Structure 1
Amino acid sequence: MLSADLRALLTGPGGPFERALEPVLGAPAEVFVQRAPHLPAVLDGAAGRTPDAPYLVAGERTLTYAGAARLARAYAAVLAGEYGVGKGDRVAVAAPNSPEYLLAFWATTALGAILTGLNGWWTPAELDHGIELTGPVVVFGAGRPLQRLHECGAAATIRIADLADLADLAGAAERLDSPADWPAAVIEEDDPAAIMFTSGTTGRPKGAVLSHRNMVHFGLFGGLGGAVAALAGGADGRQVPPGVQRATLLSNPLFHVSGACVALSTAPLFGTKLVLPPPGRWSEETALRLTHEHRLTQWSGVPTHFWRMLTHPDFDSYETGQVATIGSGGSTFAPELLRLIEEKMPGVQVTNGYGMTETTGAGTFLNAQKMDTHPASVGAAAPTMKVQVRDAAGTALPEGEVGEVHLAGAGVFLGYWRDPAATRDVLDDGRWYRTGDYGRIVDGVLYLESRMRDMIIRGGENIYPIEIEYRLVEHPDIDDAAVIGVPDTVLGQEVKAFVVCRRGAELDAGQVRDWVAGALAAFKVPARVEFRDALPYSQTGKVLKRELEGSPA
């Protein structure tokens, strides 16, 4: 993808992405040589390189990198002095994204403590589970999540505090004392930094423990992928001009790996400005307006987000010419979407990838060049990562055969908090992580088939929903689609499709079935079709199929 000179410039000795093989928790892993030793050093580095550059913009408030470092030190002093937080303690937060949440995150990690991100949409019972599992010394909340925290059974035994109170104390400390340095704490690379709860597809959510190494690696891993994509794009590809600050929305929640690691690693490592959208559900109109107002250079999301922005009736009234990259993860880009992106935003660099909380988002990477030849894939092994497809016995399979996807590398998590059995189930002695996803490798790139739990078995035939979903969204009148299996007396399961039509379009079930039948085998054609105004999505952009499974068959 790159010339030898460019490759040497990026990854050669002394280069910003120089790599080496080192032991990580007893297993060899490829690591970045030029890396910060822990998260507080990442923020200090950004404050030293670009002190006055905007870091976080929330409405009328702008926090610079130097300002964030000063305030984070004050937050750390207050956490230690007023709340008794020390190394190894857990500090839980249930709140919407805000500058206060981010500063509390920085301060917690600087003390060698562990930030526990509680899902702000959880019910009191779910919050109780997260609190009981992780045992924090204090739980901070804001907005509606704070109200739900006070309804928890844990409120009787755990200190519940308003995030605003922490902010007030830290602000006073910063004004009066202006701490010159972080509180003393010895932090090792493989010390825990955060607990992120998994989506809990089976049983109750588990707490995935991410280390300082994991989160620092995320930023460098993403930075190298972005640099390769930009350089491989050539002269015709859009580029961020020298001297122009990169800028993007911070839409993903800080209790999720894609939100936390962007805010604490990617952005400070590369001096990016993060813009917080207003509270509430994601809106294509808001995303376009903020792109225009803040001259955003990058869009991140899932394909549905890009469909909705590109087909918005007022798209042309917003300035998007400065957007250089569009990035996604996990979901494939339909050819029709790629054509629409090229038509509306010629030269923009499109990237995709595949990873999960347990690998700190790292796994595979797909740039625009590979997308032209392998559009339905999620790419090849990302820099520093290893990918295998294995059978049920754990044996690596040859190209073309479907099996369970396994990932290894410096991004692989430490394990599940206080759950050694679950950790053993997914991590082997070589620190290979079992993803629970089906896939196949062809020409060195990974094609996802389905999550194991999503696979439909119809009359003995294995059906992977993603293949049908991919076909459905290629229809010019379909905006979004999801496919699940529903019980059938004779066949065991049948295929059911949930379809969202584009604005002004009308389809019936027969037309949907005919469209699928035009490209896929008859047994994959949905027997049942349900039309929806919208599909249920999580805050991180994943279709909530469990909610669809509760719909009438």
Structure 2
Amino acid sequence: MLDILAHTLRRHPDRPAVLGTTPTGTVRTKATYGDLADLTDRCTGALHARGVGCGGTVGVAVRPGPRALAVLLALHRLGARAAVLDPGAGPDVLRARLALARPDLVLADATAQAVAGWARPLARRARLALPDLTELGPVATVGPRMPGCAPALDTDGRGARPPRPVDGDGDAVVVFTSGTTSRPRAVVHTRSSIAAGMATVADLVRPEAGRPVLGGTFFVLVPSLASGAPVALPARSTRVLVRQLRRLAPQATYLTPPQLRRLLAEGSRFNGRVWTGSAPATAELLTRVKRAGADEAWGVYALTELFPAAAVEQADKAAFTGDGDLAGAPLPGVTARTDASGELLLSGPAARDRYLGEDPDPWVATGDRARLDGGRIVLEGRCKDMVLRHAENIYPGLYEPALHLPGVELAVLVGVSAQDGDERLVAVVQPAPGADRAALRAALAGPLERMGSARPDAVLLADVPLSGRSLKPDRAAAARLAARSLAAGRPSQRSRA
């Protein structure tokens, strides 16, 4: 895939590659195919001159865009691996991650370095935090250099002539996922697993040359550009994103469920095919996207360890009447099974090689309870989300889909301590904008009754707290919200005595 992209960049230098959008919604070309090819060449030469080569590790803290893509392509050409650093993780977490990855060099743009001294107020507003630059080891600035930043990466073309592209397998990228400052955890993908994942995306989406795609991840950029489709990075502002969708009319749109919900609340229209993942995508949400004009609306089940694993279109998801959340059939090459505890295990060419500092393992333990129904994956909740009530194990994922009725934007089931070793089960239901709450409570009566012994002790109509870059439901925060509600003794929210 990356070889195809390199060839395509050379063949069509004047073709728009990365599109930007002004606050008024005007679409402009941020980089052509030729610009990307030239920037990649210059980054490759500059990194080679700095001693980066096959088997080396480079930390990357560069915002998504042409420069970040050029850096990653240059590292791939050199056979080095990229350790992706999140400036928003905080200095303590970053120190721990850097100690584990031990990069030979850190590449950071000016925004990521802001907290180091030259613009601390800006950094605080952007929720960015890096340790002092002196703690990071060798650092180079990618892009415009501001006062106080590390020396710029020399990409003016005077660097040493880069060697021939590395041809073979090896570590490609390190992505930190979880863990603590004392024991960070990072996923290691190889060149072959990254290539397999991008090939799966290309086969699933089939982007057409010349028609724009809206999305910002590496797995969106590379397959789209290799197919000749320009890519627009999604605007952070919802109002600008609405204008962006209208002006671009993209053939394919990749957005998270929270982004889709905000767009729908603004009355946005869609076209082409819409893809969403990183957080739960209900049948109701996908249905609303199709009603807003999309030809197809897909939920993608993917993990950092294996991207993508399964996909399901709205029509199939809406037609599913069984317990649990239908994630779809495993994509070609993906093998799925469950262990004795019901946890879903996945394997395939796109699966990560290992966790950094651990031995390789062909099976990815997802942390999700699931069952296989006619070859399709049906999720039954997170293994650690189990609620124990009256000596009965209750798995929220089995029942949450039934709560996603028209007028419900998001719903989770959480356990709240009853102070006697038991737990109380609370449904936190987020109404859609403009929904009639009394009518919604009446509509929920049927699904709640059908839950049988898993029926919640209380129903709380409130916004579901979100967390993380993907804005997934924060169950711990939702449980605290539910606990405060129960402590306040609001009788109107009780589901049963």
Which category of TM-score, normalised to the shorter sequence, fits these structures?
A: 0.7 to 0.9
Q: Which residue among 517, 523, 545 is the counterpart of 2:454?
A: 523
Contact 1:92–1:136 under 8 Å retained in 2: yes
Q: Which residue among 122, 133, 138 is the counterpart of 2:105?
A: 138
Q: Does 1:269 align with 2:222?
A: no
Instruction: State the one-letter code of the partner of 2:329.
Output: A
What is the SS of the residue equivalent to 2:72? helix
Gapped runs of 5+ residues in structure 2? 22-27, 118-129, 484-497
- The one of the two structures with greater contact order (alpha-carbon pairs below 8 A, sep at least 6) is 1
Contact 1:362–1:385 under 8 Å retained in 2: no
Work out the CA distance in 1 between the residues paired with 2:443 and 2:419.
24
Instruction: State the one-letter code of the partner of 2:231.
Output: L
Q: Which residue among 312, 322, 328 is the counterpart of 1:379?
A: 328
Partner of 1:16: none
Q: 1:339 to 1:80 in 2, by over 3 A?
A: closer
What is the SS of the residue equivalent to 1:103? helix
Contact 2:83–2:175 under 8 Å retained in 1: yes
Partner of 2:30: 62
Deviation of 1:541 after TM superposition, in Å, equals 3.7
Work out the CA distance in 1 between the residues paired with 2:74 and 2:209.
30
Alignment of 1:207-356 (within 5 A): 207-227=186-206, 244-250=210-216, 259-263=217-221, 265-278=222-235, 282-313=236-267, 315=268, 320=270, 323-329=271-277, 333-345=281-293, 348-356=295-303
Q: Does 1:390 align with 2:343?
A: no
Gapped runs of 5+ residues in structure 1? 1-35, 228-239, 251-258, 393-402
What is the SS of the residue equivalent to 2:245? helix
Alignment of 1:393-542 (within 5 A): 403-420=342-359, 427=361, 431-476=362-407, 478-490=408-420, 492-505=422-435, 507=437, 514=445, 516-527=447-458, 529=460, 531-532=462-463, 535-542=465-472
TM-score, scaled relative to structure 2: 0.81
Work out the CA distance in 2 between the residues paired with 1:326 and 1:469.
23
Partner of 1:230: none
Work out the CA distance in 2 between the residues paired with 1:343 and 1:333.
15
Work out the CA distance in 2 between the residues paired with 1:155 and 1:465.
47
Contact 2:18–2:230 under 8 Å retained in 1: yes
Deviation of 1:217 after TM superposition, in Å, equals 1.2
Instruction: State the one-letter code of the partner of 2:299.
Output: N
Instruction: State the one-letter code of the partner of 2:9.
Output: A
What is the SS of the residue equivalent to 2:188? strand
Work out the CA distance in 1 between the residues paired with 2:475 and 2:33.
40
Contact 1:111–1:185 under 8 Å retained in 2: yes
Q: 1:182 to 1:470 in 2, by over 3 A?
A: farther
After the TM superposition, which of the residue ranges 326-335 and 218-227 deviates more from structure 2? 326-335
Q: 1:549 to 1:75 in 2, by over 3 A?
A: farther
Work out the CA distance in 2 between the residues paired with 1:167 and 1:350.
46
Deviation of 1:300 after TM superposition, in Å, equals 1.8
Instruction: State the one-letter code of the partner of 2:8.
Output: A
Q: 1:518 to 1:311 in 2, by over 3 A?
A: farther
After the TM superposition, which of the residue ranges 432-441 and 286-295 deviates more from structure 2? 286-295
What is the SS of the residue equivalent to 2:437? coil
Work out the CA distance in 2 between the residues paired with 1:152 and 1:203.
16
What is the SS of the residue equivalent to 1:223? helix
Work out the CA distance in 2 between the residues paired with 1:512 and 1:483.
17
Deviation of 1:136 after TM superposition, in Å, equals 0.8
Q: Does 1:152 align with 2:100?
A: no
Work out the CA distance in 1 between the residues paired with 2:106 and 2:370.
39
Deviation of 1:550 after TM superposition, in Å, equals 5.0
Instruction: State the one-letter code of the partner of 2:260.
Output: F
Q: Which residue among 89, 98, 102 is the counterpart of 1:122?
A: 89
Work out the CA distance in 1 between the residues paired with 2:67 and 2:10.
22
Work out the CA distance in 1 between the residues paired with 2:446 and 2:110.
46
TM-score, scaled relative to structure 1: 0.74
Partner of 2:127: none
Q: 1:144 to 1:75 in 2, by over 3 A?
A: closer
Q: Does 1:44 align with 2:6?
A: yes
Partner of 1:172: 156
Deviations 1:446-495, CA, capped at 9 Å, x for gaps? 1011111122222232222234432333241x323333222223462222
Partner of 1:32: none
Q: 1:146 to 1:419 in 2, by over 3 A?
A: farther
Corresponding residue pairs, total: 456
Q: 1:338 to 1:137 in 2, by over 3 A?
A: closer
Instruction: State the one-letter code of the partner of 1:488.
Output: A
Contact 1:513–1:526 under 8 Å retained in 2: no
What is the SS of the residue equivalent to 1:387? strand
Deviation of 1:107 after TM superposition, in Å, equals 1.4
Alpha carbon RMSD of aligned pairs, Å?
Answer: 3.2
Contact 2:428–2:482 under 8 Å retained in 1: no
Q: 1:132 to 1:224 in 2, by over 3 A?
A: same
What is the SS of the residue equivalent to 1:206? strand
Q: 1:182 to 1:161 in 2, by over 3 A?
A: closer
Q: 1:122 to 1:303 in 2, by over 3 A?
A: closer
Q: Does 1:75 align with 2:43?
A: yes
What is the SS of the residue equivalent to 2:466? coil
What is the SS of the residue equivalent to 2:69? helix
Q: Does 1:102 align with 2:75?
A: no
What is the SS of the residue equivalent to 2:298? strand
Q: 1:337 to 1:169 in 2, by over 3 A?
A: closer
Deviation of 1:389 after TM superposition, in Å, equals 1.7
Q: 1:353 to 1:202 in 2, by over 3 A?
A: farther
